[in-house]
Amino acid sequence: STVTKILGSGATGVFLGASVNTETVFNRQLVEGGFNGAFFAPDGTLSPDYIKLAGAASEGTYFTSQAAPVAALGGPKTGPLADFFAAYQVTFGQSAQAYSAEGYDSANMIIEAIKSGVRDRKGMVEYFRTKSYKGVARTYKFQPNGEPEGDPSINIYRIKGGTINWLGVSSDLAK
């Protein structure tokens, strides 16, 4: 099996890009087989469900996400993003999840475009090519080819003590 090959290889780290269900089973099998290295997973793991499903094997897992860091997981405690998360909690009676802030920002970007008179897809594309938008998660501005401007912000998390903890942004952590 793949787990047996990894255990026999002496690997000190494993990255698995899969669904949460597959990641949890695979990680448990590694840990139960004696793997002591680092386990890395993508943004689908940014959920308390991963800890519930993987159990003790989730301890020490690293994962990445482009989503703004959720306050409940160690993200900002002040500022627009923290205010958004607090209002979300009050409004919906639960913590916001990954990409909630980006979804909110996206909806408000579109509303702003509509309020300015945009009525079709072509108009939206042109509007976003020439405008920037300061949202709760970040400021959005697009290049002429439609790609976002600026360096990508990849947030790094680690599970410690049974909780998800934000470690910071990759570009800051690499310094």
> Tens digits of per-residue pLDDT, 126-145?
999 899 999 999 899 998 88
Count of C-beta atoms within a 10 Å radius of residue 78:
8
The string of pLDDT tens digits covering residues 4-55 is: 999 999 999 999 988 888 988 999 999 999 999 999 998 888 887 888 988 8
Given a contact cutoff of 8 angstroms between Cβ atoms, the answer to whether 137 and 102 are in contact is: yes
Who has greater pLDDT, 175 or 118?
118
Q: What is the structure's pLDDT at 123?
A: 95
Q: What is the structure's pLDDT at 118?
A: 96
Q: Which residues contact 66 (CB under 8 A, 6 or more apart)?
A: 43, 152, 153, 154, 155
One-letter identity of residue 83: D
One-letter identity of residue 49: D
pLDDT at 174 > cutoff 80: no
d(CA 1, CA 3): 5
Q: What is the structure's pLDDT at 50?
A: 87
The string of pLDDT tens digits covering residues 57-93 is: 999 999 888 888 877 777 888 999 999 999 999 999 9
Strand segments (E) across the chain = 13-15, 38-41, 62-65, 132-134, 139-141, 155-160, 163-169
d(CA 81, CA 101): 7
Given a contact cutoff of 8 angstroms between Cβ atoms, the answer to whether 156 and 61 are in contact is: no
Q: What average pLDDT does the structure give for the chain?
A: 90
